[in-house]
Amino acid sequence: MARIEGVNLPREKRIEYGLTYLFGVGLKRSRDILNKLHINFDTRVKDLTDQDVAALQKEVTSNYMVEGDLRKEIKADIKRLQDIGSYRGTRHKRSLPVRGQRTKTNARTRKGPRKAGSIVALKRKVTKK
């Protein structure tokens, strides 16, 4: 079992896709790491030798910021934006889209489900006399 930075890599997947299970490692970075270490992309995670796993661990920890450290840095960056009162910081605080998307319609992923009371104000059923 290959364990890198506290993450168990899936045994049956090819190593180029298995490395992407690390937070901060995408397909491009995964391929760069494997090219540097001269490991074949088609190798399955279960077929890696102990030396390969050790080399991957050393390469990832020494040259890339992944997992917990990266998450901490991202949170610190967002907190800094909020503390200085920037526009992006206030958008983060209000859980609204940060990058200029429209919010009159859409933006449901960021805003959450529609609020029950805001459908149509003062709409009442007409009663017959």
What does the domain layout of the chain look like in residue ranges?
3-63, 68-118
CATH number of 68-118: 4.10.910.10
Partners of 8 in the beta sheet? Answer: 3
Where residue 127 falls among pLDDT bands split at 50, 70, 90? Answer: confident
pTM greater than 0.85 (yes/no) = no
Instruction: Look at residue 116 and tell me whether its pLDDT is greater than 80.
Output: no
Task: Specify the DSSP class assigned to residue 99.
Answer: S
Percent of the chain at pLDDT > 90 equals 72
Residue range 3-63 forms a domain whose CATH class is mainly alpha
Residue 8 host element (H or E) = strand 7-8
Task: Specify the DSSP class assigned to residue 129.
Answer: -
* Topology match between the domains 3-63 and 68-118: no
Lowest mean pLDDT among 1-5, 44-48, 84-88: 1-5
Question: What mean pLDDT value characterizes the chain?
Answer: 90
Residue 65: predicted pLDDT: 93
Task: Specify the DSSP class assigned to residue 14.
Answer: B
Where residue 118 falls among pLDDT bands split at 50, 70, 90? Answer: low
